[in-house]
Amino acid sequence: MQAVAETTDPVQALTQSGYKWGFATEIETELAPKGLNPDIIRLISARKGEPGWLLEWRLKAYAAWLTMTEPHWAMLAYPPIDYQDLHYYAAPKRKPGPQSLDQVDPELLRTYEKLGIPLRERAILAGVEPAEGSRQVAVDAVFDSVSVATTFRETLAKSGVIFCPISEAVREHPELVQRYLGSVVPTGDNYFAALNSAVFTDGSFVFVPKGVRCPMELSTYFRINARNTGQFERTLIIAEDGAQVSYLEGCTAPQRDENQLHAAVVELVALNEAQIKYSTVQNWYPGDAEGRGGIYNFVTKRGACRGARSRISWTQVETGSAITWKYPSCILQGEDSVGEFYSVALTNHHQQADTGTKMIHIGPRTRSTIVSKGISAGQSNNTYRGLVRIQPKASGARSHTQCDSLLIGEECGAHTVPYIESRNASAKVEHEATTSKIDEDQLFYCRQRGLSQEDAVGLIVNGFCKDVLKELPMEFAVEAQKLLAVSLEGSVG
């Protein structure tokens, strides 16, 4: 388990130095005491061996957070979150590295199986010594806040790509982190981003240098498995002039009763002619059929198309979490830059999702495309919320939005809240939205041909989402289709 050893060594060193806060050891996880205050932030920073500037940055974010209030404009209802009743740091305890999959925690393997992760990757994720052979996917697995496995480092390093846990990037590439961290999502941007900035523990860092096309898809699997542990990932991806990278993020969580808070921040920076494709399949625990438990997912994702002709593309399939609050956005600053948002959000039972995007057109001839497919079933509520803003200098800008909602059952809700602002006459903005019920004729046709009701619904829903699913990298697309069908189980009688 060499990769694990590498990244946890500094943590171990700090833990063993007898820091006054100590650690509560709970089975496989070490937790910091509950609550949020400057001392906890200092502890996190010290545990990660961070430089002074980053501690100051965190404390500044914390000070900003104190002055802010939790936003409630989204169409979401949930009990108040007690931010002092959460652990803000948890690190996996070191254990001897497994030599084969037989030695890996079976609970963990079951989770991977549900996700449909190929066997070989499961071993990599679990920290088993990787087998020989060609590999196409680099995985940086984030377990409860601290990265414990990073693979394919050498192949990437050869082409000059840096892909590592952000805490490592802070140590190894401080000048890059300092230049870009918070440059897209400032510390005081919003309540959850401020919280993240103060207490983020880990996440991924990607740097693709000038002219380099990243030789493989980059992936991170998130997994929340510690009771009452907030997850505050921080991801930073930078593509220099002409660079290209595709990043996949997939998440799952085993069933738990307590609500879990997740407030991640993802920042993307694309310079001249750079392209970043960011794909997410999110299927965290949504709570049970009665709406108990489930993840609260308050995420800030934003990309800056700083360079001319740069392109940022967000694709998401959101089927999990009890609460989703997420608006992956693009700041289209560079001339002729392109922002894209392809989204499927599926809610069932008592899930609530308020998700969408912001496309801010600043530069001339910037273009954006938004395709959003919302599916509501059970007693769930699903909201698309989006902003398209054309600034005065965005001459010749183009924006097109297609936003469709599908309702399954008479107790759910589907909502559409677009904001469309244009301050440039030569820009052309179009928005279309529809809401309809799943088509009875289509259902009947499928049934008549021998499909079960659930298979028929799965088929129709996948067809409804096709325009989004086709944007996903192949390995994700298959998983996403399975996920949509599985997530709708029990929604049709």
Instruction: Give residues with Cβ within 8 angstroms of 367, minimum separation 6.
Output: 332, 336, 337, 338, 339, 397, 398, 399
**E strands present in 391-460:** 398-408, 413-422, 428-437
Q: Is residue 453 close enough to count as binding another protein by CB under 8 A?
A: no
Closer Cβ to another protein, 131 or 425, answer by number: 425
Per CB under 8 A, contacts with another protein among 386-405 are 390, 392, 405
Q: Burial of 133 by CB count in 10 Å (0-12 exposed, 13-18 middle, 19+ buried)?
A: exposed
Q: Which two tokens stand for residue 205?
A: 């860092």
Q: Is residue 422 close enough to count as binding another protein by CB under 8 A?
A: yes
DSSP-assigned letters across all residues of 348-380: -TT-EEEEEEEEEE-STT-EEEEEEEEEEETT-
Closer Cβ to another protein, 276 or 427, answer by number: 427
**E strands present in 202-258:** 204-208, 217-223, 234-239, 244-252
Q: Is residue 70 close enough to count as binding another protein by CB under 8 A?
A: no
d(Cα 60, Cα 53) in Å, to the nearest integer? 10
Q: Which range, of 316-324, 356-364, 432-440, 449-457, touches another protein by CB under 8 A?
A: 432-440
Q: Which two tokens stand for residue 280?
A: 């997410």
Per CB under 8 A, contacts with another protein among 251-280 are none
CB of 191 to another protein, least distance (A): 16
d(Cα 337, Cα 308) in Å, to the nearest integer? 6
Residue indicated by tokens 């054309």: 390
Closer Cβ to another protein, 98 or 396, answer by number: 396
Q: Pick from 212, 407, 446, 465: which binds another protein (CB under 8 A)?
A: 407
Q: Which range, of 13-21, 109-117, 325-333, 411-419, touches another protein by CB under 8 A?
A: 411-419
Q: Is residue 420 close enough to count as binding another protein by CB under 8 A?
A: yes
CB of 450 to another protein, least distance (A): 25
Closer Cβ to another protein, 116 or 418, answer by number: 418
Closer Cβ to another protein, 183 or 435, answer by number: 435
CB of 431 to another protein, least distance (A): 4
d(Cα 433, Cα 385) in Å, to the nearest integer? 12
CB of 391 to another protein, least distance (A): 11
Closest CA to 384 of 358, 355, 413: 355
Q: Which range, of 49-57, 338-346, 351-359, 433-441, touches another protein by CB under 8 A?
A: 433-441
CB of 379 to another protein, least distance (A): 10
Q: Which range, of 26-34, 353-361, 423-431, 445-453, touches another protein by CB under 8 A?
A: 423-431
Q: How many residues bind another protein (CB under 8 A)?
A: 36
Residues facing 262 on adjacent strands: 231, 297
Q: Is residue 408 close enough to count as binding another protein by CB under 8 A?
A: yes
Q: Is residue 68 close enough to count as binding another protein by CB under 8 A?
A: no
CA angle 233, 235, 239 (to 5 degrees): 175
Q: Is residue 22 close enough to count as binding another protein by CB under 8 A?
A: no
Q: Which two tokens stand for residue 6?
A: 């590498």
Q: Pick from 426, 444, 463, 490: which binds another protein (CB under 8 A)?
A: 426
Closer Cβ to another protein, 424 or 462, answer by number: 424
Identity of the residue numbered 278: Y
d(Cα 286, Cα 382) in Å, to the nearest integer? 13
Helices 106-115 + 119-126 axis angle, to 10 = 140
Which residues would be at the binding site for another protein (CB under 8 A)? 73, 390, 392, 405, 407-438
